[in-house]
Structure 1
Amino acid sequence: MLKQLRPAIVITVLFTVLTGLIYPLVITGISQAAMSNAANGSQIIVNGTVVGSSLIGQNFTKDSYFHSRPSATQAQDPAHPDDPSKTVDAPYNADNSTGSNLGPTSQKLVDRVKADIDAKHQAGIAGAMPADSVTTSASGLDPDISPEYALAQVPVVAKARNLPEDKVKELVDAHIEGRALGIFGEPKVNVLALNMALDDVK
């Protein structure tokens, strides 16, 4: 019996060391050497302090900032800490990446979208709403919005900051990222990067 057990134990230990220790260390070393920023979470650091990540959105609510698209992420309800089924809305909760899972026939989704459209009109965003202004992403953590949504927010942000709309629009235009390799994806604007640039405007 020991004759059969020995090779099984040796192979288990060998592959545990190879795949559980050596492989992760080698890949970590390569990623740190080749793309340390991405390997460390694409952190954005200002004056030595991490203010966010270019890959994870944040929940901006003030009129003086550009808003991200809605997020359907949730968190444990603090009133029921022992019941994981009790949750509360927690936009851009990076610990709980998820979509709403509401289908196009869901009345709850229709009601929420209508309420969001009304709220944005009341805030001063005129005209038809870009789709990403009232719909959540699959992850709930999308850091980018469409150029159309960013431009639709220009009058609101400019008014809140007492800035000329043309100056704020120029800032949006400067932060529009094109398609990857010119063909993949859609043009986008990173909300955190745009808001940080907005804070630098004198």
Structure 2
Amino acid sequence: MLAGTFGCFLAGTVWAAPTGFVLQIELSPAVCSIDSTQKRTRQCLEGYSLTVSGLMPEGVSGKSCETSSVPTLTPVQKRVLMRIMPDENAQARLWRSVGGCVSMNASQYFRTMVNFAEKLNMPSEVTSPTSIRVNREWLQQRFSQLNTGMPTSALQLGCGSANRNSTTLLTDIRVCYQTNGRYKTCHVERVSSCPSQFVIQGSY
């Protein structure tokens, strides 16, 4: 359940509250094989299968979300957060980009993100050690079956490849939520970038 009532209060100005949230998850084996700039990151070096990259507010101006505050977390919360987002610099950048338009402090925000991630049931195929080719609609149905109340329209899949001739890989998953934590249909302008079939790269 999301903490608090959402609104934006920055320098005395009241900003519009988010209309929803998007949990962004990267499939590390695919991202690490495609993006050479990621190869020295902890998620690549230590063999993470999934990494959360953010919980992004919808329906607010990106500029209004910026904050100069620094996230302050307890040692226990840091350890929990590192399990799903193993880069402290990435955590700080994320908070600076969204902290100005959620009426939560950094501790509440990251706790909400962790709660969403931990409650999301992943199909076993997504974290399989073996690479498999799957059908997009089939995978969307699998998510819907494993997560009560999730319509397939609450899920967006992102794909990529190293070059034009290489295999298309599933690189990221986005799950859309209402501000009360229930699933909702994702914005239509953010369409899935995956073809009808693609490969889920096996974990390390």
Q: Say yes or no: TM over 0.5.
A: no
TM-score range, shorter chain: under 0.3
TM-score by length of 1: 0.25
Q: Give the number of the structure with larger relative contact order, counting CA–CA contacts within 8 Å between residues 6 or more apart.
A: 2
Based on CA coordinates, which of the two structures has the bigger radius of gyration? Answer: 1
TM-score by length of 2: 0.25
